[in-house]
Amino acid sequence: MRLTKKTPVVWCAILVLGLTVAISGCGSSSSSSSTSSTASNATTQTTNSSSSSTEAGASTGGTAQKLQISANPEGQLKYEQKTLTANAGAVSIDFTNSAPLGHNVTIESSAHKILGATPTFQGGSRTLSLNLKPGTYKFFCSVPGHRMAGMEGTLVVK
């Protein structure tokens, strides 16, 4: 390859293009940066301290109903709560993980669509804010193997 004055510009363009493709294929993560994606009527934004999701047609105004959930502090792969109940609309789920393992809370619709999730973390609390329509949802830990071991529950929204 022959080097010219334009060679650094070409390499920068290739690098930017490659990073753009890599980042767009990653989806949401537990990094400290914010990402957003749109998938069939749900918009999810994830940050290191909280996540939020707004379903199309749901109201985002008003005070969120607060729910509490915690991982088993002894390290068993389960939540201390198996069922949660909320009213339709804004819901804020405070998740505490005092376990010696990293965990998260992921909310899934009855159509198996992920509506939002906290980052995976160990020690402390994170909040997941959602606008939910009436229905039955699943909450679970998406760390590989945790859900299959029983770290899941049901969220009923009236």
pLDDT score recorded for residue 6 = 55
Cα separation, 62 vs 110, whole angstroms: 25
pLDDT at 10: 56
Burial of 71 (0-12, 13-18, 19+ CB in 10 A): buried
Q: What is the domain-level CATH number for residue 85?
A: 2.60.40.420
Confidence (pLDDT) at 47: 32
Residue 82 placed within a domain = yes
Pairing of strands 35-39, 42-46: antiparallel
pLDDT of the residue at 2 = 57
pLDDT of residue 103: 98
Q: What is the DSSP letter of 63?
A: P
pLDDT at 64: 85
Q: Who contacts 46 (Cβ-Cβ below 8 Å, separation ≥6)?
A: 28, 29, 30, 34, 35, 116, 117, 119
Tell me what pLDDT residue 29 has. Answer: 38
Bridge partner residues of 152 (DSSP): 140
pLDDT given for residue 63 in this prediction: 83
Instruction: Report the DSSP pairing between strands 65-70 and 89-96.
Output: parallel
For residue 129, what pLDDT is reported?
Answer: 97
Q: Which residues of the chain have pLDDT under 70?
A: 1-62
**Within a domain: 31:** no
Residue 14 has, within 13 A of its CA and on its CB side, a CA count of 6
Please report whether residue 103 resides in a domain.
yes
How many domains does the chain fold into? 1
Q: At 29, which amino acid appears?
A: S
Q: Is 0.75 surpassed by the pTM of this model?
A: no
pLDDT of res. 99: 96
pLDDT of residue 14: 56
Supply the range of the domain harboring residue 131: 39-157
**Would you state the pLDDT for residue 34?**
32
Report if residue 14 sits inside a domain.
Answer: no
In angstroms, the first-to-last Cα distance of the chain is 66
Q: What local confidence, expressed as pLDDT, does residue 26 receive?
A: 41
- Within a domain: 116: yes
